[in-house]
Structure 1
Amino acid sequence: MQSKNIFLSLIFLGLSLQITSAQKVEKRLDSLILTGFGNKNEPGGVFLASKKGKIIYRKAFGKANLELDSDMTPDHVFQIGSMTKQFTAVAILMLEQQRKLSVNDAVSKYIKDYPSGGKITIHHLLTHTSGIKDFTKMKALSTIAQKEMKPEMMVDFFKNEPVDFAPGEKFEYNNSGYVVLGYIIELVSGQTYEDFIKKNIFEKAGMNHSYYATDRQLIPKRASGYHQKEHGFVNKTVISFSVPFSSGSLMSTVDDLLKWQQALNQNILLNPSETKKAFQKYTLNNGEEFTYGYGWHLKDINGTPDREHGGSIFGFKSMGVYIPDEDIYVIGLSNCDCHSPTEITRNMAKIVLQAGKK
């Protein structure tokens, strides 16, 4: 009887320590986030942290809409900007898995008249090593920013610009490459990029609150986007989402992005060999390794390898960090491009990682 009581006491002690530890982590995360998202009357954000698929932190801060004075909730939908590139990269690998293309194929196989398209491969586009001109750095961008652009028109907009370097010569982050990838997805699949992502990724992963961005369609729980000016906040600049297209036009929630990460972990979307291609480091022509796979930066947090990517588009910023060794995923979404979740999200991942090692 006495040994049973000791056993129960040990169980209760263990549970008590776990609860205390979880509360300490929550307080540290709260304190960290409030440094950048502490004003309840400003645009805000949503942050989520999970470990081994279990949510350990999920909170909203600030306002989802200033004009309606509506508070942010963890369910709100945000534009995720360049986190879109993860979905574009996986879509390409899905088509490779279906043997409809190869990442070693030349761009000219699909876009016949692309300048130097015989030397630029899909792999170069995926890894930002193509050397083609990034359309976001072109002065003429303002002339098309609010026009409805077909993918072919977007490619035509930048394809004849002088290249910045020879394919494979260096790594330089490039939005144009991912627009070309979106166009190739459409040409190979026979579907629009929007339909391909919806049917092959969102629906398979159960991401019921993720969308190709639109200002016309009604999106339940959509967070409004803002800029901050000297005199205060203003509504985000209007752009045509056909311009960023497959480089930055998706919308999602923190819960759906956790489903996305789990779908990748569980090989729901890709087999292990294709998945591995997204998360391995590659080398330049001179043999030098760089820290980008297909759609993810491959870095580390305190020496522990991670996969991460942020996004920035008018009125919104996003950041996601995944630590594969510990199955830790942290995501931060902001509805003002004045409030960056990047460092906060990385520091959240550090806190969760440290707590797990104690």
Structure 2
Amino acid sequence: MTQFFTILLLLFFCNTITAQVYEKKIDSLINSEFNDKNGPGGVFMVTQKGKNLYKKAFGKANLELEVNMTPENVFQIGSMTKQFTAVAVLILEDQGKLNVNDPISKYIKDYPSGDKITIHHLLTHTSGIKDFTKMKSLSSIAQKEMKPEMMVDFFKNEPVDFILGEKFDYNNSGYVVLGYIIELVSGDSYENFIKKNIFEKSGMSHSYYATDRQIIPKRAYGYHKKEHGYVNKTIINFSVPFSSGSLMSTVDDMVKWQNALNQNALLSSKELKKAFQKYKLNNGEEFTYGYGWHLKDINGTPTREHGGSIFGFKSMGVYIPSEDIYVIGFSNCDCHSPTEIVKNIAKETLNLAKK
């Protein structure tokens, strides 16, 4: 019996030491970038198989009021919105209301070449349509309230960047069109559809369609960094990025999102697989994007990942399916990118899991 307890004690100490070494390593990775206690900061979280391995906040959530960041703060997640938009499309397909191979002219009658461009092309960034974020005239609408139809009209007549299906080129316009199609097919607003079909079903009670007007409890404020110091983020009307980048969330809610996907709580596993498979270009070449996720790897171990950037905020998430590891990082200054940090944390966590 004494020997048994000795072994248990040794295991406990070994696990404790391993956990402490791991925590210090993650701290050092984050502190390399997020090292200003009095500046904007961020939140990082790591989970594996339902267990929290790491969760910490850095810096300030609000500079003027000198409010420290907490892991519960709400961030704008930018283009991580795209994975919600993609799943919303698949939910509608699961309900028999659309098909990803449908031409978009079925829903938007007057879209140029809409009889050839499919929903699949939009989901995979292979449509060639002009990305509105690269248009010089964007500043003329950036602060206007734009209906989805107005946003689509803003870029639909621009010359295409390449022939349909010829290459993968990350494109925000495609995901705006998808948001408009979600509204047309569902008969509901994009905001309400996401809230009812994803946020509520996943238990994501601290996730929102972004707003600068409504009171958002525990909101982290966004900042830029100039030569003379930090400034408040540039104002943009969220109807402009719309379904390509206008959601807000917390690290805990993003873990709930990942769990809901894993448990097929939102749609069937057969349907969800479409989001996580690689597709091919016209020439047969495979590219590393599914529907709303980059499909990459860490030393040969497959990952699903995506980042986001919107005025004042940056985000990044990496999920490792084989080990059920999820790493998420948010920043409330677009001067600090969590992208490489999150990737390095994922690498460290994977190494630990394989020991």
**Other structure's SS at 1:318 match:** strand
- Give the alignment of 1:336-355 within 5 angstroms: 336-355=333-352
**Other structure's SS at 1:325 match:** helix
State the AA in 2 paired with 1:258: V
Match of residue 59 from structure 2: 62
Shift of 1:109: 0.4
How many pairs does the alignment contain? 355
Shift of 1:123: 0.3
Match of residue 31 from structure 1: 28
CA offset digits 1:67-119 (Å, max 9, x no partner): 00110000000000000000000000000000000000000000000000011
Distance 1:14 1:200 in 2: 44
Does the alignment pair 1:328 with 2:328?
Answer: no
1:90 pairs with one of 77, 87, 90: 87
Distance 1:12 1:262 in 2: 33
Match of residue 254 from structure 2: 257
**Other structure's SS at 1:269 match:** coil
Match of residue 146 from structure 2: 149
CA offset digits 1:300-350 (Å, max 9, x no partner): 112211000000000000000000011000000000000000000000101
TM-score by length of 2: 0.99
Match of residue 44 from structure 1: 41
1:284 pairs with one of 281, 284, 297: 281
Identity of aligned residues (%): 77
State the AA in 1 paired with 2:153: D
CA offset digits 1:169-210 (Å, max 9, x no partner): 100000000000000000000000000000000000000000
Match of residue 11 from structure 2: 14
Does the alignment pair 1:79 with 2:88?
Answer: no
Distance 2:49 2:35 in 1: 29
CA offset digits 1:138-194 (Å, max 9, x no partner): 011000000000000000000000111121110000000000000000000000000
State the AA in 2 paired with 1:271: S
Does the alignment pair 1:183 with 2:184?
Answer: no
2:216 pairs with one of 206, 214, 219: 219
State the AA in 2 paired with 1:287: G
Match of residue 103 from structure 2: 106
**Other structure's SS at 1:238 match:** coil
Shift of 1:357: 1.4
State the AA in 2 paired with 1:278: A
Distance 1:150 1:137 in 2: 20
Distance 2:353 2:17 in 1: 13
Distance 2:273 2:2 in 1: 49
Distance 1:272 1:17 in 2: 38
**Other structure's SS at 2:347 match:** helix
Distance 1:264 1:58 in 2: 21
2:240 pairs with one of 208, 219, 243: 243
Instruction: Give the aligned CA root-mean-square deviation in angstroms.
Output: 0.6
Match of residue 295 from structure 1: 292
Does the alignment pair 1:196 with 2:193?
Answer: yes
Task: Give structure 2 stretches of 5+ with no counterpart.
Answer: none
Task: Give structure 1 stretches of 5+ with no counterpart.
Answer: none
- Following TM superposition, the consecutive aligned residue runs of length 4 or more in structure 1 with deviations greater than 3 angstroms are none
Does the alignment pair 1:314 with 2:305?
Answer: no
2:127 pairs with one of 130, 142, 151: 130
Distance 1:294 1:345 in 2: 21
TM-score by length of 1: 0.99
**Other structure's SS at 1:264 match:** helix
Distance 2:274 2:167 in 1: 19
Distance 1:163 1:32 in 2: 41
State the AA in 1 paired with 2:26: L
